[in-house]
Amino acid sequence: MSDSNLFRPILGRQDSGTEMAPLIQTSMATRGWSALLALMFIALATALALLQYKETASARGTIEARTGASMLVAPDAARVAELLVAPGDTVRKGQVLARLNQTRFSAAGESISKVDARHLQQQLSLHKKEYALLQQQQKQNADRLSRQLHHQHERLELTKNETSLLNTQVKLSGNALQALQRLAANQGVAKARVMQEQLSHLELQRGQQLIARQRRELELLTEDLQQQLHSSKLDYEKQKILIEQRIANLQHRLGVAMVSDDRAVLADQDGIVASIGVAVGDAVTANQSLMTLQSQTQSLQGTVFVPSRIADQLQEGQQLMLRFDGFDYRYYGRFSAEIEQLSKSPLDPRMSQLPVAGIREPVFEVTVSIPTGSGAARNDDPAILPLTTGSAFTADFILAEKRLLAYIFEPLLALRGKVS
């Protein structure tokens, strides 16, 4: 056997291992792509389950200008007392434009408000007199108590001086009595002289006690007068507050009665007086038109012509998005708006001339609000282009919101019960 034959089987096994290596690499690559596709499918399913899809319905419409006019009416039956503006005048919100007089008369032919005012004036006068009398009485009472208190202070000061004098006399009398008693013990003076001195000393002590009692009575009387003076001031302050409150209340009622016959007509917005329908002296009834104000700033509104299949799903206050024909929504975006009013009766395009072409079925007129100052701005240009009347647009009404995954499978779910 040759050397080449000895090594042939070994070489054959080496060739077989080389052929298996590409198969192993191909299997690993396949599993990698499968895992990647699975992850991508899971991510896609998650996104479809989380993303919201807004179901919308579209209708055509145009922009219109609001009238901007407001009518001012009389709140009650009255007579025009004064007109403070003329047609063409510029006014501010809250400005007084006219005054109305609502005078009512009694059976005697006198203004009821004037009768009430006169009665209130009489009551006010009486309360003011009562207030003045209270002040006078308080002054007199305070003066009287102050004089009495001053007099008691003087008496108390005299009593203090007498007490001091008696105390000195009692001390001297006691010293003299002791001296006489020592002399009497030595037979130096008669006992009658000692007894007489004792009686004088006792009389001084009794006077000392009387002065002390009198001083105490004066002190109590002084405290009582001080308390009376303090209580008098408190009572005066209480009565003063009550009378002042009654006077203030009467003054307020009197002021109301004096102006209750007049009513001011105020401007409800900034604008220009367009017309005045009354003259000074005219009698007007409740809710009668007085004048018209025209707004200085023009605001816009949109009118959308909606088919009945959509109108049934709309309500006032519902949000919608507008796409204007003159501004490509891919660059300028959509404009938000809100439904203000829904018409109750449909419009037939065969009977009515509609501002939007292409409508061939009955539609309902829907008024939508457009925010003041709205305009179009391109994504790459900060300049704002104002919206103008007559511009056509497409309104997208949001009817429902659902998951994007549910929207995709909605046709399949609709087959439930139809396929067996």
Q: Spelled out in words, what is the top-level CATH class assigned to the domain 112-259?
A: mainly alpha
Q: What is the residue whose two structure tokens read 């009376």?
A: 228
What is the pTM assigned to this prediction? 0.39
Asked if residue 333 has pLDDT above 60, the reply is: yes
Cα separation of 184 and 31, whole Å? 150
Q: How far is CA 113 from CA 106, 271, 324, in A?
A: 9, 35, 61
β-bridge mates for residue 62, sequence order: 303, 392
Strands (E) across 240-334 are located at 262-266, 271-276, 283-284, 289-295, 300-307, 319-324
Lowest mean pLDDT among 124-133, 170-179, 181-190, 252-261: 252-261
- pLDDT at residue 380 tops 60: no
CB contact at 8 A, 399 and 339: no
Pick from 241, 250, 239, 233: nearest CA to 118 = 250
Is residue 65 within 8 Å of residue 372, measured between CB atoms? Answer: no
Task: Classify domain 48-66+298-414 at the CATH class level.
Answer: mainly beta
Domain coordinates in residue numbering, the chain: 48-66+298-414, 69-102+265-295, 112-259
pLDDT tier for residue 25 given thresholds of 50, 70 and 90: low
pLDDT for residue 13 is more than 50 = no
CATH of domain 69-102+265-295: 2.40.50.100
